């Protein structure tokens, strides 16, 4: 019996680069597990018919995925539903640790849920991103602190990103990697 190498597209929309770095890591992780992977932003996304699976990612602004990802998904909805898709978002919610913040952070905003449900992904996961204090208004910083934001800077949890990437690899029956890529 001949086995084929799964072909995976990792397509992302980023505002400041954090989502791109996560997408690059996921792509490198899946490639290390034996998949043929192409990572691209939505503007340079490859033809989906060439791929067995797709990983989509976007930064979250104003409780919604970036318009670039939504504009990519809309005309490709049927193609995406015809293959295995994983969806991730990058925002502040997962970084909130206070009692109110944890509850708020677990809520999937309506706009994100609508897009998620339109493509029926195998899984959706929200990751924390970067949140820099510079340029953030006092009211926004106050709300962040009240909701349980404890620090600024790179809030990404690379262990969680690695575990999620591993779950994708397992779902696609990829072999174990000889070496695991490191995050930025």
Residue-range definition of the domain harbouring residue 135: 7-171
Count: domains in the chain: 1
In a domain, 141, yes or no: yes
Report long-range pairs for 79-84 (Cβ below 8 Å, ≥24 apart): 79/48, 79/49, 80/48, 80/54, 80/56, 80/119, 81/119, 81/120, 83/48, 83/51, 83/52, 83/53, 83/54, 84/52, 84/53, 84/54, 84/122, 84/171, 84/172
90 touches 128 (CB < 8 A): yes
In a domain, 53, yes or no: yes
Using 50, 70 and 90 to split pLDDT, how confident is the model at 3? low
Question: What whole-number percentage of the chain has pLDDT above 70?
Answer: 98
In a domain, 144, yes or no: yes
In a domain, 158, yes or no: yes
In a domain, 1, yes or no: no
pLDDT tens across 71-92, in order?
Answer: 999 999 999 999 999 999 999 8
In a domain, 176, yes or no: no
In a domain, 182, yes or no: no
CATH of the domain at 128: 3.40.50.360
The pTM of the full predicted model, rounded to 2 decimals, is 0.91
Residues 6 or more apart from 57 whose CB is under 8 A from it?
10, 11, 12, 13, 19, 22, 23, 26, 69, 87, 88, 89, 90
Indicate if the pLDDT at residue 1 is higher than 60. Answer: no
């Amino acid at each position: 019996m001949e086995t084929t190498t799964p072909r995976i597209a990792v397509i992302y929309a980023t505002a400041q680069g954090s989502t791109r770095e996560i997408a690059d890591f996921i792509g490198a992780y899946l490639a290390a597990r034996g998949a043929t992977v192409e990572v691209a932003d939505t503007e340079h996304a490859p033809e989906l018919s060439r791929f067995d699976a797709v990983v989509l990612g976007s930064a979250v602004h104003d409780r919604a995925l970036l318009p670039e990802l939504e504009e990519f998904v809309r005309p490709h909805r049927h193609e995406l539903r015809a293959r295995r898709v994983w969806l991730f978002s990058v925002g502040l919610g997962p970084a909130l640790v206070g009692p109110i913040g944890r509850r708020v952070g677990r809520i999937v905003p309506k706009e994100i849920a609508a897009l998620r449900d339109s493509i029926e992904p195998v899984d959706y996961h929200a990751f924390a991103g970067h949140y820099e204090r510079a340029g953030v208004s006092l009211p926004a910083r106050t709300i962040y602190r009240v909701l349980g934001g404890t620090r600024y800077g790179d809030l990404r949890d690379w262990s969680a990103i690695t575990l999620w990437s591993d779950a994708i690899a397992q779902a696609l029956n990829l072999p174990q990697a000889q070496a695991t890529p490191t995050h930025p």
